[in-house]
A = this chain, B = another copy of it.
Amino acid sequence: MKYWKYYLNRLFSADIIRNEHLVGRYFILEVTPNVAICETQVGQFFMLRPGESIDPLLLRPFSLLTFKSPSGQYPNGTLIFLIDAVGKGTNILKRLAVGTRFSIVGPLGRGFPPVADDEILFVVAGGIGIASVFGLTSVYLNTPFFFGVRTANMMSDLQAIGFNYWGENTFTASDDGSIGSKGSVLELLEKQVSEYKRDCGGKVKIYACGPHAMYKAMVKMNLDADIYVSLETPMACGVGTCLGCAVETTSGLQMVCKDGPVFNLKDIIWGG
């Protein structure tokens, strides 16, 4: 496979070392870069090229699930992505063989801001949104984690491959009730936030990633918290030049790839 030969900072080639298909559409793509790459904040993303064809043409954005530190075997560490094969590009990525070398741009954008000492962090993931916020669980150990899924499959999948953040601080809900409580994970969140407010009174930060509908529902809930969410829009360049990924905010149009993808929820103006 053809790949790029320029290693100025955020443009590098990487080799696939694992492409593990989970139940359903999800898969884990683990790659090792061929150069030392920049440090990544949780919430930042990388643009992956879906195969070497010119159709599909554009790179696809994916959050970094986790970074594994350099080892003897992988001197530049490894990047792990959790991907939902929803369309053309993701399905091509799903079929790439171990050993395939391909091109990556990143890390890009702004991740989640640091949490102050006097604040408590609640993390919310809706479905595949877990890919973007999962990294927070190793920065903020034992932080309350709210995970909403359609059905139990995905949870067990993640556990099966070694993600074990399912302690007593994890609150799960599923659409079909097959795991956790039945219904929206936001109800659990609301309850915990108000209990916390009542019992401790401290400042609450919520970092969330999920479908935009989830964010709109959060707006309506009027939670007494500082909420940051990771947005998704189609992207071309990923680096702020094409001006394609615009989103309306209270301070005008902003670019999801450069000013985000993480935004303060109250700044977003929701259209249609």
Tally of contact residues, A, Cβ under 8 A: 3
A39: CB under 8 A from chain B? no
Assembled-state Cα–Cα distance A111/B196 (Å) = 82
Find residues 37-80 in chain A having any chain B CB closer than 8 Å to their own CB: 53-55
The residue of chain B having its C-beta at the shortest distance from the C-beta of A88 within the complex is B53
Assembled-state Cα–Cα distance A54/B56 (Å) = 9
List the number of copies, as a whole number: 2
Q: What is the predominant secondary structure among interface residues of chain A facing chain B? A: loop
Minimum distance in angstroms from A141 CB to a CB of chain B? 43
Find residues 201-253 in chain A having any chain B CB closer than 8 Å to their own CB: none
Across-interface contacts of A55 in B (CB, < 8 A): 53-55
Across-interface contacts of A54 in B (CB, < 8 A): 55
Minimum distance in angstroms from A49 CB to a CB of chain B? 14
Assembled-state Cα–Cα distance A54/B55 (Å) = 7
Assembled-state Cα–Cα distance A53/B88 (Å) = 9
The residue of chain B having its C-beta at the shortest distance from the C-beta of A92 within the complex is B53
The residue of chain B having its C-beta at the shortest distance from the C-beta of A57 within the complex is B55
Assembled-state Cα–Cα distance A53/B55 (Å) = 7
Across-interface contacts of A53 in B (CB, < 8 A): 53, 55
Minimum distance in angstroms from A130 CB to a CB of chain B? 30
4 contacts between A and B (CB under 8 A): A53-B53, A53-B55, A54-B55, A55-B55
